[in-house]
Amino acid sequence: MLYVDVISLDSYRRARARDRQHARPAAAPLTFYFDLRSVYTYLAAERVDRMFAGVRWLPASAKALGRGIVLGDDERRVVRTRATLLGLPLVWPGEPPALELGAMRVAALAAERGVAAQFVLAASRLVFCGGYAIADPETLAEAAATAGIDWRDMLRAAGDVSRDGPIEEAGRLLLAAGADRLPAMRVGARLFCGEDRLSEVAAARVSA
């Protein structure tokens, strides 16, 4: 009698997926440093989320790099043109987010829990697509809920001044490494600054 092993199509597909995964070289680690209050983070975050997997998202202070958050009229026009080119809606919030620290503290909590991408995307969309104030607890609560963060944890994090030091330190370390603006992306030992360099990041990650 002839015995034949029967392999289900689903099992075959899973085995093929495992083979492809093992055959493909692992991508170099990528860290995305952001200041949630900056419109440039919004322009980059949408594409970082789509383009890359396994990204570590970390908040860093743009102020520590000597960069302001509030834009003048000329730079706003440049940013609006850039957003149009990228196909992203852009609405300037009624209240400038420059001095708001609570959102960055919550972003630090989100980073600790591995949900910074979800929080940053939700908050950025509310602020720069909807024009909501980033300092509004309801804005933060909605973004936090998207990332699975309870509103009580969000409120505690937003008022936790001890989180400011590590965020400032992250900015100072980037400055010491040669960064001149945020967002910044680190691929291995290489650092790329600016939301307009994502294609270079992709190339560096493949070749690393």
The C-alpha torsion from 121 through 35 and 189 to 204, rounded to 10°, is: 40
Mean pLDDT of 5-26: 49
Q: 69-124: per-residue pLDDT in tens?
A: 778 889 999 999 999 999 999 999 876 665 578 999 999 999 999 999 999 999 99
Q: What is the pLDDT of residues 167-194, one digit of tens each?
A: 999 999 999 999 999 999 999 889 999 9
Which residues partner with 186 through β-bridges?
Answer: 31, 191
Residue 15: predicted pLDDT: 56
pLDDT at 68 over 80: no
Helices (H), 87-163: 102-112, 116-128, 137-146, 151-158
| Residue-level pLDDT at 22 | 46
| Cα–Cα distance, 62 to 197 (Å, whole number) | 17
For the cut 70, the answer to whether the pLDDT of residue 32 exceeds it is: yes
Mean pLDDT of 43-52: 93
pLDDT at 71: 82
Query: What is the dihedral angle through the alpha carbons of 144, 95, 43, 24, rounded to the nearest 10 degrees?
Result: -20
Mean pLDDT computed over every residue of the chain? 86
Give the whole-angstrom CA distance, residue 151 versus residue 144.
7
